[in-house]
Each structure stands twice: as C-alpha cells, then as structure tokens.
Amino acid sequence: MPSFVRINTTRCGVMALCRPQCSPKKVRKRHIQGNAPMKYPRAMLTLAVAFCATTSHATTFQANFPSGSIGEVTRLDADGLHWQLALRDDNDNAALPHKFRAWWYVRANDVSVTKPMTLAFTRIGWNYDFRPVYSYDNKRWHYFEDGEARFEPGCRIAEPDTCRMTITKAFDRPVVWIARTFPYTYADLRAYLRKFTFSPYVKRVGIGKSPILGKTIPAVRIASPRQGQRQRIVIHARTHAAETGPSYVVEGLMNALTRNDALGQRLRDRYVFDMVPMHNIDGVQLGNYRTNGSSLNLENRWFMDKAVAFPISLLPEAPEENQQLNRAVFAPAVSDQETPTVLALNLHASNSAPNTQAFFFPHFGGDPARYSSEQSALWRKQLSFIRAVASHYDGRIEQPPADGGAGFLNSAFVESWWWHHQQEQVNAITLETTYGRAGFDHWITQDDLRRLGEALALAIDGMDRPHSRSVRSLDDPARANDVFREPFKPEIYENEAEH
C-alpha cells in the first residue's frame, strides 16, 4: 500500500501537485475548499504551493526518495517563508505509539536565498532537545547552529502537536535537504561495502530478500584466510530503521578489522566476525523510524518455543526479517562447535537527553540470592566488556546499573534467544548510541560514532588477553567505575525499559 502525504491550504494560495521533474510554475492546480487536507501518494508526488500574484517563486518539499519521510505540510504565511511540517507515522500507521514517530528526511526546492525561512517540525515523538542536520548536496551534513534551531518548551508526548522543533535559517542555496540526524541509506551501505570488493579478509553474501521491496539483505564475514581454531562474534544493526548511528559504528569497526596493522591482524586471526549491517531494509527504504514495512517492531519478535530445549528455528509468527537473520547467521552460529560464538552485539540508537552518552543494556547481577552462578558469570562478563569499551572511548560510555535484572527473559528480545541457547557462553548485549552531545563538547558527529566502532574493536581485542588495558578487575569496588566520565544516571534505564 503506498504511503501518503497530507496537504493543507492557506487562505492566500491554492495547493498544487507536480511530479518531481516538473517546474512549479507549470503545475496543474487543484483547488481545495477551505483548509481541508487532501491525500496523494508520497512516493509519486512533490508538494508545492502556487502563491498569490505578488509571490515570485514557489517552495516545494519532497520525500519521494529512499529513506525520505515527511507528513502533513502547511504553509503558514503569504510569502512562503514560514512552514509547518508534521512528522509522519511509520507507514502512515496512526495506531503506532507516539515514540515511534521520530524521523524526517526531506528535500526543499526553490528555497529563498535572500530571506530567512522558518520551518516548524511538529508531532515529534520524544521530548529531548536535539539538533537536526542539513545538506546542500545530500552528502555533506551540517548541524543547525544552536541559535537556528529550538526545541520548543511544553512538549507533551500524548499531545503530538505540542512537540515542536523550530528552525529559522537563511539558506545559502535554493536546494537543501533537512533530516532529524545524519541519514544512512541502503545505497550508502552498498557503496561502503563495495570498498571491500577485493579485500582478502572480507566475504560478502546475501542472506535473503526483504519481504516487501525484495532488496538483498547483505551480510559480511571478516576473518583471516588461514585455517585454525577461532571464536565467532556476531553483530547486527538497524533493526530500527532510522537509528542511523549504528551504521557509522559498523563502519568504524569494519575499518579497524580490515586494516593491515597489528590490531587488525590479531582480530582476524583470533575471531570470525559475522555482521548484518542493515537488518530492516524495508523500513530503511520506506522512511520509517522504528518498524518494518508491515509496521512491526522487529526488536521484540524473536518468538521461539521455550518448551523446547534447543528451539533453533523461530516460530512462524516471527517476522520474515528475523527468520532470515536467524536461518542464515544465528542458528548456524550456535550449531558450530568448532567456532563457538562468544559475543553477540545488537546495535541501536536512543532518543535521550542531550548529554547522554552511549550506553549498554547488561543483564542479571552479582547477588547470589537472586541470580544463578551462570547468570552472575554473564553479568561479570558484560561489565568487563562495558568498561573495556569505555576505557578506549575516553570514558564516554554511561555507567551500567548496579543490577541489570532478568526481565528480558520474559520478552522476545534477541538477547533472550541467545540466553536460551548459550546462556553465559555468549555475551549477548545491546549497545545504544545517542543523538546529542554524547559526552563531547559538540553535537556528536559521524566520525565520533566511527571512533566508537574502533573502541569496540579494541575492547574485543582485550577479551581473552588478561593483561590488556581493556581488562579491568572487578574485585576493587573503589576502582570499578573509574573509566567512566559521568556518574550513574538511573533515568536512562528507567526510560529505556523496551529497547
């Protein structure tokens, strides 16, 4: 089913529709009574406005490209310099939770270069300050300055129109792309992976087709060509479609793994890395934030028959994207005794307060009255890895909680699947990047995220090297958290019960 945009009129002008190649001056006008909205296929149409006779140009907004997204667009003044752009629900599905509405990516054409333009983005599904980005070529992205973008006070998530970001800027060029954060599309991933076409360490395969658009879901294996006993590390990202930060983390990790230096060689010799960089390709292509093309949240649908000791296959009601990832990567990994899996990373991004750094979701705890020896062993393994990552990322990882709890066992997360099959043998854990300053003195950049990928590589390098800088003792409570820059923030874990 095609997705739609809704178009509102104002009293001075009439709305007009055109295909992207048309000139706004030549569009066929469609008169609309009053302010009543009309709906047209978003994938086919560009929004335009035919102004009063005193207006010399018409601004148009497009989202008819991969990962593009915008909902209802309303002109608020006679000169076409003040606009309201409402975020759309994934697949235009209004039944989804408000917090799923967190992405926009739009192209503005015929923008004034002589006067500032004001854009009010509304129906935002979270209430934290942030900075959107813009680009004049859809490649090099820039943050809006603090004086140009303002998250309006008074946001109440249950009343979507109260959650607004207002941007006022004099643009330098007549065409500009504007997004909630740095886009990273399916085409971007394919272009990045092509860099490794002739690498002796990288093998690229397709694990299946996305169920709606039929796009190949790429997987990557990185290892030395040599034979020998190794362990396996499994990584997947972009389960939530527009959580783009993890894509840059994957790039940083892959860059480290494929370099011809001592670190890269050690990691390739000791591990086989199986990576699925973009799990939810339909959602990415369709411009969704969280769900797939059927409005399903893939993260909590790893359905298995827990009455079976080793339910290697998912139940039929699990989404096809999860079925494919399971059949091609996870199930073979747990079945391969010669190359046992030791780490399974699930990469995400979190809408959080601006100063929230990247953080992990560890499980269980150290209390023997509450947890078995196997559960406590996983807890210690996860804390050690979190501290290792923090030590290689200048402490810009949030402190983990004193107890991770066991609630995930009652859910259908991918970590629940790993625990059921491998228990403490596999450190299955989620890493959440964030969109704000993330511990820096600036809004986080793509290179900052790539450096987090390099920090993961260094932490992995120290996992079975007891004298590595990555490995810190858990026996000294006074020093256990000395690698972190910030004190523990309980609100992070209170607000992120469903990751």
Distance CA 495, CA 499 (A): 9
Q: Which residues pair with 405 in a beta bridge?
A: 364
Residue 292 tokens read as: 């797939």
Do 356 and 398 meet the contact criterion of CB atoms below 8 Å apart? yes
Contacts of 198 (CB under 8 A, 6+ apart): none
SS (H, E, C) the chain: CCCEEEEECCCCCEEEEECCCCCHHHCEECCCCCCCCEEEECCCCEEEEECCCCCCCCCEEECCCCCCECCCEEECCCCCCEEEEECCCHHHCCCCCHHHCCCCEEEEECCCCCCCEEEEEECCCCCCCCCCEEECCCCCCEECCCCCEEECCCCECCEHHHCCEEEEECCCCCCEEEECCCCCCHHHHHHHHHCCCCCCCEEEEEEEECCCCCCEEEEEEECCCCCCCCEEEEEEECCCCCCCHHHHHHHHHHHHHHCCCHHHHHHHHHEEEEEECCCCHHHHHCCCCCCCCCCCCHHHCCCCCCCCCCCCCCCCCCCHHHHHHHHHHHHHHHHCCCCCEEEEEEEEEECCCCCCCEEEECCECCCCCCCCHHHHHHHHHHHHHHHHHHHCCCCCECCCCCCCECHHHHCCCHHHHHHHHHHHHCEEEEEEEECCCCCCCCCCCHHHHHHHHHHHHHHHHCCCCCCCCCCCCCCCCCCCCCCCCCCCCHHHHHCCCCC
Which residue reads 């799923």 in tokens? Answer: 100
Distance CA 289, CA 67 (A): 9
Q: Active site residue: 243, 251, 321, 432, which one?
A: 432
Q: Is 432 designated active site?
A: yes
Do 89 and 96 meet the contact criterion of CB atoms below 8 Å apart? yes
Residue 444 tokens read as: 């986080």
Contacts of 25 (CB under 8 A, 6+ apart): 58
Positive or negative, the Cα torsion across 172, 176, 180, 185?
A: negative
Distance CA 420, CA 408 (A): 11
Catalytic machinery residues: 432
